[in-house]
Amino acid sequence: MTSVSTLPNAEALFEDLGRRLYVDAQIDIPPDVRRALREAAARETNRGARGMLTTMLRAVDVADRKQTLVCQDTGIPIFWITIGRGIAVDGAAMLEALRRGVERATEETPLRSSIVSAIRRENRHTSTGDGVPVFHVEFSTAIDYIDIVMMPKGSGSESMSFLKMLLPADGLAGVKKFVLDTAVEAGGRPCPPTIVGVGIGGSSDLCMTLAKKATLRPVGQRHPQSDIAALEVELRDAINSTGIGPMGLGGDTTVLDVHIETAWTHITLNPVAVNMQCWRGERRRARVYADGRVDIGY
Protein backbone atom coordinates (compact mmCIF):
# COMPACT_ATOMS: atom_id res chain seq x y z
CA MET A 1 0.00 0.00 0.00
CA THR A 2 1.38 3.47 -0.95
CA SER A 3 2.13 5.78 1.99
CA VAL A 4 0.45 9.18 1.75
CA SER A 5 2.13 12.50 2.62
CA THR A 6 0.37 15.79 3.20
CA LEU A 7 1.75 18.60 1.07
CA PRO A 8 3.28 21.39 3.23
CA ASN A 9 1.98 24.99 2.73
CA ALA A 10 -0.32 23.73 0.00
CA GLU A 11 -2.57 26.76 -0.44
CA ALA A 12 0.26 29.30 -0.71
CA LEU A 13 2.11 26.98 -3.09
CA PHE A 14 -0.88 26.52 -5.43
CA GLU A 15 -1.76 30.23 -5.38
CA ASP A 16 1.77 31.11 -6.40
CA LEU A 17 1.70 28.43 -9.11
CA GLY A 18 -1.61 29.71 -10.48
CA ARG A 19 -0.13 33.19 -10.77
CA ARG A 20 3.18 32.08 -12.21
CA LEU A 21 1.88 29.55 -14.74
CA TYR A 22 -0.75 31.93 -16.14
CA VAL A 23 1.82 34.68 -16.76
CA ASP A 24 4.71 32.48 -17.89
CA ALA A 25 2.55 30.56 -20.37
CA GLN A 26 1.88 33.81 -22.20
CA ILE A 27 5.51 34.95 -22.32
CA ASP A 28 7.57 31.79 -22.80
CA ILE A 29 6.55 29.68 -25.81
CA PRO A 30 7.33 25.92 -25.46
CA PRO A 31 10.56 24.71 -27.13
CA ASP A 32 8.74 22.20 -29.36
CA VAL A 33 6.56 24.99 -30.80
CA ARG A 34 9.60 27.21 -31.41
CA ARG A 35 11.37 24.33 -33.15
CA ALA A 36 8.31 23.57 -35.30
CA LEU A 37 8.02 27.24 -36.35
CA ARG A 38 11.74 27.37 -37.22
CA GLU A 39 11.55 24.15 -39.23
CA ALA A 40 8.41 25.34 -41.01
CA ALA A 41 10.10 28.64 -41.92
CA ALA A 42 13.10 26.73 -43.33
CA ARG A 43 10.80 24.44 -45.38
CA GLU A 44 8.33 27.05 -46.66
CA THR A 45 8.33 27.54 -50.42
CA ASN A 46 5.97 30.55 -50.31
CA ARG A 47 7.92 33.78 -49.75
CA GLY A 48 5.10 35.62 -47.96
CA ALA A 49 4.47 32.66 -45.67
CA ARG A 50 8.16 32.47 -44.86
CA GLY A 51 8.07 36.14 -43.91
CA MET A 52 5.02 35.57 -41.69
CA LEU A 53 6.69 32.66 -39.88
CA THR A 54 9.82 34.77 -39.41
CA THR A 55 7.69 37.57 -37.90
CA MET A 56 6.17 35.06 -35.47
CA LEU A 57 9.62 33.86 -34.42
CA ARG A 58 10.66 37.48 -33.94
CA ALA A 59 7.62 38.05 -31.67
CA VAL A 60 8.71 35.04 -29.59
CA ASP A 61 12.23 36.49 -29.36
CA VAL A 62 10.98 39.95 -28.32
CA ALA A 63 8.77 38.36 -25.63
CA ASP A 64 11.85 36.52 -24.30
CA ARG A 65 13.99 39.64 -24.16
CA LYS A 66 11.38 42.08 -22.84
CA GLN A 67 9.36 39.58 -20.80
CA THR A 68 6.18 40.71 -22.57
CA LEU A 69 3.22 38.69 -23.83
CA VAL A 70 3.59 37.09 -27.24
CA CYS A 71 0.02 38.13 -28.10
CA GLN A 72 -2.41 40.58 -26.49
CA ASP A 73 -5.11 37.88 -26.12
CA THR A 74 -4.81 36.53 -22.56
CA GLY A 75 -7.27 33.76 -23.40
CA ILE A 76 -9.51 31.63 -21.21
CA PRO A 77 -7.41 30.20 -18.35
CA ILE A 78 -7.67 26.40 -18.42
CA PHE A 79 -5.96 24.04 -15.96
CA TRP A 80 -5.38 20.33 -16.61
CA ILE A 81 -4.62 18.66 -13.29
CA THR A 82 -3.58 15.05 -12.71
CA ILE A 83 -3.28 13.90 -9.12
CA GLY A 84 -0.88 11.02 -8.62
CA ARG A 85 -0.47 8.56 -5.79
CA GLY A 86 0.94 9.24 -2.34
CA ILE A 87 -0.06 12.92 -1.98
CA ALA A 88 -2.88 14.09 0.27
CA VAL A 89 -4.37 17.35 -0.95
CA ASP A 90 -7.54 19.33 -0.21
CA GLY A 91 -8.84 19.41 -3.77
CA ALA A 92 -11.37 22.21 -3.32
CA ALA A 93 -8.77 24.41 -1.60
CA MET A 94 -6.27 23.65 -4.38
CA LEU A 95 -8.68 24.84 -7.10
CA GLU A 96 -9.55 27.98 -5.11
CA ALA A 97 -5.85 28.76 -4.62
CA LEU A 98 -5.14 28.34 -8.36
CA ARG A 99 -8.07 30.66 -9.09
CA ARG A 100 -6.69 33.28 -6.67
CA GLY A 101 -3.33 32.94 -8.42
CA VAL A 102 -4.93 33.78 -11.79
CA GLU A 103 -6.64 36.80 -10.22
CA ARG A 104 -3.37 38.00 -8.70
CA ALA A 105 -1.57 37.53 -12.03
CA THR A 106 -4.19 39.68 -13.74
CA GLU A 107 -3.94 42.48 -11.18
CA GLU A 108 -0.21 42.45 -10.48
CA THR A 109 1.25 41.95 -13.99
CA PRO A 110 -1.16 43.57 -15.08
CA LEU A 111 -3.00 41.51 -17.74
CA ARG A 112 -6.08 42.28 -19.80
CA SER A 113 -9.00 40.32 -18.33
CA SER A 114 -10.67 38.60 -21.28
CA ILE A 115 -13.43 36.95 -19.23
CA VAL A 116 -17.03 38.24 -19.17
CA SER A 117 -20.35 36.84 -17.97
CA ALA A 118 -22.31 34.94 -20.61
CA ILE A 119 -25.43 37.14 -20.90
CA ARG A 120 -24.63 40.57 -19.41
CA ARG A 121 -21.03 40.59 -20.68
CA GLU A 122 -19.85 41.90 -17.30
CA ASN A 123 -16.05 41.90 -16.80
CA ARG A 124 -14.72 41.63 -13.20
CA HIS A 125 -11.20 42.35 -14.49
CA THR A 126 -9.86 39.26 -12.72
CA SER A 127 -9.67 36.79 -15.69
CA THR A 128 -12.09 34.66 -13.63
CA GLY A 129 -15.84 34.24 -13.32
CA ASP A 130 -18.47 31.53 -12.95
CA GLY A 131 -16.90 28.36 -14.35
CA VAL A 132 -13.60 30.10 -15.17
CA PRO A 133 -10.78 29.10 -14.78
CA VAL A 134 -11.80 25.84 -16.40
CA PHE A 135 -10.48 22.91 -14.36
CA HIS A 136 -10.02 19.37 -15.70
CA VAL A 137 -9.09 17.05 -12.84
CA GLU A 138 -7.97 13.44 -13.26
CA PHE A 139 -6.23 10.84 -11.11
CA SER A 140 -3.36 8.58 -12.11
CA THR A 141 -1.67 5.61 -10.49
CA ALA A 142 1.31 6.06 -12.83
CA ILE A 143 2.77 9.20 -11.18
CA ASP A 144 3.78 10.20 -7.64
CA TYR A 145 3.23 13.96 -8.01
CA ILE A 146 0.51 16.43 -8.98
CA ASP A 147 0.81 17.49 -12.60
CA ILE A 148 -0.65 20.91 -13.43
CA VAL A 149 -0.72 22.27 -16.96
CA MET A 150 -1.98 25.79 -17.64
CA MET A 151 -3.31 26.55 -21.10
CA PRO A 152 -4.47 30.12 -21.79
CA LYS A 153 -6.76 29.49 -24.78
CA GLY A 154 -6.99 32.40 -27.22
CA SER A 155 -10.41 33.19 -28.63
CA GLY A 156 -9.40 33.08 -32.29
CA SER A 157 -8.50 29.41 -32.04
CA GLU A 158 -11.12 28.50 -29.42
CA SER A 159 -13.92 29.84 -31.64
CA MET A 160 -12.82 27.29 -34.24
CA SER A 161 -14.17 24.30 -32.27
CA PHE A 162 -16.36 21.76 -34.01
CA LEU A 163 -18.24 18.62 -33.01
CA LYS A 164 -20.12 16.16 -35.18
CA MET A 165 -21.98 13.09 -34.00
CA LEU A 166 -21.26 10.95 -37.06
CA LEU A 167 -22.81 7.55 -37.60
CA PRO A 168 -20.81 4.31 -37.45
CA ALA A 169 -21.62 3.89 -41.17
CA ASP A 170 -19.70 7.12 -41.88
CA GLY A 171 -16.59 5.23 -40.72
CA LEU A 172 -13.06 6.62 -40.63
CA ALA A 173 -13.64 8.24 -44.04
CA GLY A 174 -16.33 10.43 -42.44
CA VAL A 175 -13.95 11.37 -39.63
CA LYS A 176 -11.20 12.39 -42.08
CA LYS A 177 -13.64 14.41 -44.20
CA PHE A 178 -14.94 16.25 -41.13
CA VAL A 179 -11.44 17.20 -39.95
CA LEU A 180 -10.44 18.44 -43.41
CA ASP A 181 -13.71 20.33 -43.94
CA THR A 182 -13.37 22.12 -40.60
CA ALA A 183 -9.76 23.09 -41.31
CA VAL A 184 -10.81 24.58 -44.65
CA GLU A 185 -13.83 26.34 -43.09
CA ALA A 186 -11.63 27.77 -40.30
CA GLY A 187 -9.17 29.21 -42.85
CA GLY A 188 -7.04 31.94 -41.28
CA ARG A 189 -9.33 32.61 -38.29
CA PRO A 190 -7.60 30.37 -35.69
CA CYS A 191 -4.27 32.18 -36.35
CA PRO A 192 -2.46 29.37 -38.21
CA PRO A 193 -0.18 27.52 -38.28
CA THR A 194 -2.24 25.75 -35.65
CA ILE A 195 -1.93 22.60 -33.60
CA VAL A 196 -5.11 20.74 -34.50
CA GLY A 197 -6.55 18.54 -31.77
CA VAL A 198 -8.92 15.78 -32.86
CA GLY A 199 -11.11 13.79 -30.48
CA ILE A 200 -12.65 10.55 -31.73
CA GLY A 201 -15.15 8.53 -29.70
CA GLY A 202 -16.62 8.96 -26.23
CA SER A 203 -19.75 11.01 -25.53
CA SER A 204 -20.19 14.50 -27.02
CA ASP A 205 -18.58 16.25 -24.01
CA LEU A 206 -15.74 13.74 -23.69
CA CYS A 207 -15.05 13.92 -27.44
CA MET A 208 -14.54 17.70 -27.30
CA THR A 209 -12.41 17.40 -24.15
CA LEU A 210 -10.21 14.84 -25.94
CA ALA A 211 -9.80 17.20 -28.90
CA LYS A 212 -8.67 20.03 -26.62
CA LYS A 213 -6.41 17.79 -24.57
CA ALA A 214 -4.79 16.60 -27.81
CA THR A 215 -3.54 20.14 -28.49
CA LEU A 216 -1.49 19.96 -25.25
CA ARG A 217 0.82 17.24 -26.54
CA PRO A 218 4.25 18.57 -27.64
CA VAL A 219 4.49 19.16 -31.38
CA GLY A 220 6.05 16.19 -33.13
CA GLN A 221 5.20 13.70 -30.40
CA ARG A 222 3.12 11.00 -32.08
CA HIS A 223 0.31 8.98 -30.54
CA PRO A 224 1.73 5.71 -29.12
CA GLN A 225 -0.70 3.60 -31.18
CA SER A 226 0.76 3.22 -34.70
CA ASP A 227 -2.53 3.40 -36.66
CA ILE A 228 -3.54 6.60 -34.86
CA ALA A 229 -0.03 8.04 -35.31
CA ALA A 230 -0.30 7.32 -39.06
CA LEU A 231 -3.69 9.07 -39.17
CA GLU A 232 -2.15 12.13 -37.47
CA VAL A 233 0.52 12.36 -40.17
CA GLU A 234 -2.03 11.79 -42.97
CA LEU A 235 -4.32 14.56 -41.67
CA ARG A 236 -1.40 16.95 -41.05
CA ASP A 237 -0.17 16.56 -44.62
CA ALA A 238 -3.70 16.77 -46.06
CA ILE A 239 -4.43 20.05 -44.23
CA ASN A 240 -1.06 21.52 -45.18
CA SER A 241 -1.76 20.69 -48.83
CA THR A 242 -4.80 23.05 -48.77
CA GLY A 243 -2.44 26.04 -49.10
CA ILE A 244 -4.25 28.11 -46.42
CA GLY A 245 -0.87 28.99 -44.92
CA PRO A 246 0.28 31.11 -41.94
CA MET A 247 -2.50 33.50 -40.86
CA GLY A 248 -4.48 32.31 -43.89
CA LEU A 249 -2.34 34.28 -46.35
CA GLY A 250 -1.26 31.26 -48.39
CA GLY A 251 1.64 28.83 -48.08
CA ASP A 252 2.65 25.30 -47.18
CA THR A 253 2.26 25.65 -43.39
CA THR A 254 -1.34 25.65 -42.19
CA VAL A 255 -0.74 23.35 -39.22
CA LEU A 256 2.33 22.61 -37.11
CA ASP A 257 0.82 19.25 -36.27
CA VAL A 258 -2.35 17.19 -35.84
CA HIS A 259 -2.81 15.26 -32.59
CA ILE A 260 -5.55 12.69 -31.99
CA GLU A 261 -6.93 11.34 -28.73
CA THR A 262 -9.56 8.61 -28.64
CA ALA A 263 -12.02 6.93 -26.28
CA TRP A 264 -14.36 4.01 -26.68
CA THR A 265 -17.91 4.96 -27.60
CA HIS A 266 -21.48 3.65 -27.97
CA ILE A 267 -22.16 1.06 -30.70
CA THR A 268 -24.47 3.50 -32.52
CA LEU A 269 -22.16 6.54 -32.25
CA ASN A 270 -19.07 7.79 -34.13
CA PRO A 271 -18.33 11.22 -32.58
CA VAL A 272 -15.53 13.45 -33.84
CA ALA A 273 -14.42 16.83 -32.49
CA VAL A 274 -11.85 19.37 -33.62
CA ASN A 275 -10.24 21.97 -31.37
CA MET A 276 -7.45 24.23 -32.60
CA GLN A 277 -4.58 25.88 -30.77
CA CYS A 278 -3.09 28.96 -32.45
CA TRP A 279 0.55 29.30 -33.53
CA ARG A 280 1.74 30.44 -30.08
CA GLY A 281 0.89 26.96 -28.71
CA GLU A 282 0.93 28.13 -25.13
CA ARG A 283 1.20 25.80 -22.18
CA ARG A 284 3.18 25.75 -18.92
CA ARG A 285 3.53 22.80 -16.58
CA ALA A 286 4.36 22.27 -12.91
CA ARG A 287 5.02 19.01 -11.12
CA VAL A 288 4.37 19.24 -7.41
CA TYR A 289 5.90 16.52 -5.23
CA ALA A 290 4.76 15.40 -1.78
CA ASP A 291 7.71 17.12 -0.05
CA GLY A 292 6.74 20.49 -1.59
CA ARG A 293 9.35 20.40 -4.36
CA VAL A 294 8.14 21.95 -7.66
CA ASP A 295 9.53 21.34 -11.17
CA ILE A 296 8.46 23.88 -13.79
CA GLY A 297 8.42 22.85 -17.44
CA TYR A 298 6.18 22.71 -20.51
**Measured between alpha carbons, how far is 96 from 11 in angstroms, rounded to an integer?**
8
Residue 77 near ligand SF4 by CB under 6 A:
no
DSSP letter at 129 equals B
Shortest approach of ligand SF4 to residue 112 CB, angstroms?
Answer: 11
263-282 mask for ligand SF4 (x: CB under 6 A)?
---------------xxx--
Asked if residue 156 binds ligand SF4 (CB under 6 A), the reply is: yes
x/- site string to ligand SF4, residues 20 to 59, per CB under 6 A?
Answer: ----------------------------------------
- Look at residue 181 and give its three-state secondary structure: helix
For ligand SF4, which is the closer residue by CB, 84 or 251? 251
Minimum CB distance to ligand SF4 smaller for 69 or for 175 = 69
Using rule CB under 6 A, residue 186 touches ligand SF4 = no
Angle between helices 10-27 and 91-108 (to 10 degrees): 50
Residue span 191-230 as binding mask against ligand SF4, x where in contact by CB under 6 A, dash where not: x---------------------------------------
Nearest Cα residue to 298 out of 287, 290, 289, 288: 287
Q: Give strand ranges (E) for 141-235.
A: 145-153, 161-166, 194-200
- 235, 258 in Cβ contact below 8 A? yes
Q: Which amino acid is at 152?
A: P
> Is residue 283 a contact partner of residue 26, using CB atoms and an 8 Å limit?
no
| Binding interface with ligand SF4 (CB under 6 A) | 71, 73, 75, 154-157, 191, 278-280
